[in-house]
Every structure is written in structure tokens, then in C-alpha cells.
């Protein structure tokens, strides 16, 4: 019943039912934890897991998978390391789903070498296993390894799916492999009959943007079969800012305004781009346009501004964070 309540959005009813239970076993605890994870409420899921530990109930592999997913999304590497030790002590090391979750956790936290260690130790691998390590290598900047594993996966008899191609395209984008990226995109559509999703288009836009081929990137945005989101537009807008291509940035405005018709943030962002390079005439033009439309600047920062800021600074942040995180992972793996 707890699982049913959680699936139907009746969280309070699930909590009341749980509290009224005379005895709570691993199944009931797992139902609560898994329910919050599926809703994207990862912090609450981790709180429930801590309460489960205090109560003395040992988690089963389903709970372990749910908590690892929460750790990966929140970036709680410390708890993830503790769970890995638990896995090794309780003979879950051969559980494919648990290992897939560990690969995902380490990849997202920047410990790609240790995600790779988990992958190599697996005696059985699924498509999810291959996808996890391919995407892991790609998002951590190891393009060559990601593409090697993409080929190895097919040699092992696994057919790539949309996630596999997301990994390959991300790898090509980070490495500046435009021709390879476009070839993978074509093969995905033509050979495997996979309809591109927003993440695939995002990779192609990012691929062109990083190469400075902004007109081609905009052409992808204008012709994609799905509505562009703030990540796709933010990637291109960040490139416009780097290349000081204000004409193209203004052409992007119709898509940005479509995402947030009544918002001020897109106009402010464009005005600030002009101001940053001393183009006060352009900044003034945007401010006057805002005034004419009755749009006033509100305090705070928008999602598109965060995306642009991230795209402009992620390399420095990533280098520092990865160095710190990898040392923690290294110390842990010395113990196992």
C-alpha cells in the first residue's frame, strides 16, 4: 500500500501508514525511500535511509540501488562510498543493477577511474552497464575512451540505444570531433532508426558552438523536431558571448522569450553581454526595448543565466572539483 500511495502522489498518506505499522521491515522502508527517489526528492530519500540505519534494519539491494541514485543526483559521494563498502561486505558485488548504480554514482561525482574499476570487475554486463561507462567517460572528458567503449559494446553484441548515442555525441562534442559527431548522429537516425531527442540535438548544437560554427548551430535549433530548452539555448548563447556575436544572440531571443514570455532575464542577459564589451549602444537598445514592453528587471538569476555562466566556467570548476574528489575515491579504493 505504501508503494501505491507514493506512486499516486499521496505522500502524507504513505507516511501515516508507515508510522502506524507495528513493525517495519526492509520492504516498507525501501518503499518509502524508492518513492521519494522516483519523485526526484533525493534529500528526503537520504533522510529516510538514515532513519532506516538508525532503526537497525538492513537495506536490501533495491534500497541500495535507490540510495545510490539519490547520492548520484545530490553528489553525496561520502555516503556513496559507505554504501560501496556495505555492498562489498554483504555479497552484493555481483549484483548487476547495484554495479550499474555504482558506475553512475562515481561517474557523476568525477571518479571515472573508479567507475571504470567497477565496470572491469563485473562478470556480467547489460546494455545499461555499457551505457553508464560510455556516458561516464564522455561527461568526464575522456572522449577517446568513451568512443572505444562504444565500439567495444557493439563488438560484444549489444545494440546501441538513444543513451549510447548520447554518450558518443557528448564525447565528440567535448573533443571537438565535428565530423565524427555528425556521422554518429546520422547513423543513429538512418541505421538504428532512433528519433533524436532534446539531448541529442543539444550535443550537436554544443558541437557546432564549441567549434565557433554558430550559424550551423542556430540552424539546428531552428530545424529540430522538438522545442529547444534552456540547456540547448544556453550552450549557443554562451558561444555567442565568447565570440561576441551579438547579431546571432538577438536572433536567439525569440526562442528565449518563448521559454519565458513574461520574464526579464533574457533581455537583461543580452544587455549585459553588450555592456561587458563596452557596447553601451546595444545595451541601451535592449533596455529601451524592455521599457517599451513594460518589462522591469527582477532580482535573482534565471535558469538560462545559470546555464550560460556554467558553460563559461565549467572547465575551471571541473578541474578543481575532479582533483579533490578523485583523491577521496583513491583513498577508498586503497582499502578494498
Pick the more confident residue, 77 or 16: 77
Highest mean pLDDT among 40-49, 179-188, 215-224: 179-188
Per-residue model confidence (pLDDT) at position 295: 59
Q: Smallest Cα–Cα separation from 199: which of 164, 239, 166, 173?
A: 166
Per-residue model confidence (pLDDT) at position 326: 53
Q: What percentage of the chain carries pLDDT values higher than 70?
A: 79
In a domain, 82, yes or no: no
pLDDT at 231 over 90: no
pLDDT at 257 over 80: no
Quote the CA–CA distance of 163 and 148 in Å, as a whole number: 16
pLDDT at 328 over 60: no
**SS3 for the chain, per residue?**
CHHHHHHCCCHHHHHHHHHHCCCCCHHHHHHHHHHHHHCCCHHHHHHHHHHHHHHCCCCCHHHHHHHHHHHHHHCCHHHHHHHHHHHHHCCCCCCHHHHHHHHHHHHHCCCHHHHHHHHHHCCCCCHHHHHHHHHHHHHCCCHHHHHHHHHHHHHCCCCCCHHHHHHHHHHHHHHCCHHHHHHHHHHHHHCCCCCCCHHHHHHHHHHHHHCCCHHHHHHHHHHCCCCCCHHHHHHHHHHHHHHCCHHHHHHHHHHHHHHCCCCCHHHHHHHHHHHHCCCHHHHHHHHHHHHHCCCCCCCCCCHHHHHHHHHHHHHHHHHHHHHHHHHHHHHHHCCC
> Which residues span the domain enclosing 136?
125-194
In a domain, 274, yes or no: no
In a domain, 176, yes or no: yes
Query: pTM for this one?
Result: 0.79
pLDDT at 222 over 70: yes
Average model confidence (pLDDT) across the chain:
83
In a domain, 181, yes or no: yes
pLDDT in tens, 118-171: 999 999 999 999 999 999 999 999 999 999 999 999 999 999 999 999 999 999
In a domain, 301, yes or no: no
pLDDT in tens, 175-212: 999 999 999 999 999 999 999 999 999 999 999 998 99
pLDDT at 322 over 70: no
Q: Which of 58-62, 86-90, 253-257, 264-268 has the lowest mean pLDDT?
A: 264-268
* Domain total in the chain: 1
In a domain, 152, yes or no: yes
pLDDT at 320 over 70: no
Rounded average pLDDT over 62-68:
93
Q: With bands split at pLDDT 50, 70 and 90, how would you rate the model's confidence at 261?
A: low
In a domain, 185, yes or no: yes
Quote the CA–CA distance of 336 and 325 in Å, as a whole number: 18
* Set of cell numbers at residue 330: 583513491
In a domain, 141, yes or no: yes
Amino acid at each position: 500500500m505504501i508503494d501505491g500511495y507514493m506512486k499516486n502522489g499521496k505522500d502524507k498518506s504513505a507516511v501515516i501508514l508507515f508510522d502506524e505499522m507495528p513493525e517495519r521491515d526492509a520492504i516498507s522502508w525501501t518503499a518509502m525511500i524508492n518513492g521519494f527517489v522516483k519523485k526526484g526528492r533525493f534529500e528526503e530519500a537520504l533522510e529516510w535511509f538514515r532513519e532506516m540505519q538508525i532503526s537497525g534494519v538492513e537495506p536490501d539491494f533495491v534500497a541500495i540501488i535507490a540510495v545510490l541514485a539519490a547520492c548520484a543526483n545530490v553528489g553525496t559521494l561520502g555516503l556513496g562510498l559507505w554504501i560501496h563498502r556495505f555492498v562489498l561486505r554483504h555479497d552484493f558485488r555481483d549484483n548487476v543493477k547495484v554495479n550499474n548504480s555504482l558506475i553512475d554514482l562515481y561517474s557523476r561525482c568525477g571518479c571515472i577511474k573508479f567507475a571504470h574499476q567497477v565496470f572491469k570487475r563485473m562478470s556480467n554486463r547489460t546494455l545499461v552497464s555499457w551505457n553508464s561507462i560510455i556516458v561516464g567517460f564522455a561527461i568526464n572528458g575522456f572522449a577517446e575512451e568513451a568512443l572505444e567503449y562504444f565500439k567495444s559494446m557493439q563488438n560484444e553484441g549489444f545494440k546501441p540505444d538513444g543513451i549510447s548515442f548520447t554518450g558518443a555525441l557528448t564525447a565528440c562534442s567535448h573533443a571537438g570531433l565535428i565530423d565524427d559527431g555528425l556521422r554518429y548522429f546520422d547513423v543513429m537516425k538512418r541505421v538504428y532508426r532512433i528519433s533524436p531527442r532534446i539531448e541529442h540535438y543539444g550535443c550537436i548544437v554544443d558541437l557546432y558552438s564549441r567549434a565557433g560554427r554558430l550559424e550551423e548551430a542556430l540552424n539546428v535549433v531552428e530545424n529540430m523536431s522538438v522545442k529547444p530548452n534552456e540547456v540547448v539555448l544556453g550552450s549557443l548563447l554562451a558561444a555567442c558571448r565568447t565570440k561576441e556575436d551579438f547579431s546571432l544572440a538577438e536572433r536567439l531571443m525569440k526562442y528565449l522569450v518563448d521559454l519565458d514570455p513574461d520574464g526579464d532575464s533574457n533581455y537583461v542577459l543580452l544587455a549585459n553581454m553588450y555592456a561587458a564589451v563596452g557596447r553601451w549602444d546595444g545595451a541601451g537598445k535592449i533596455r529601451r526595448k524592455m521599457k517599451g514592453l513594460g518589462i522591469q528587471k527582477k532580482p535573482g538569476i534565471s535558469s538560462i543565466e545559470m546555464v550560460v555562466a556554467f558553460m563559461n566556467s565549467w572547465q575551471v570548476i571541473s578541474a578543481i572539483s575532479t582533483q579533490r574528489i578523485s583523491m577521496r575515491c583513491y583513498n577508498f579504493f586503497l582499502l578494498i
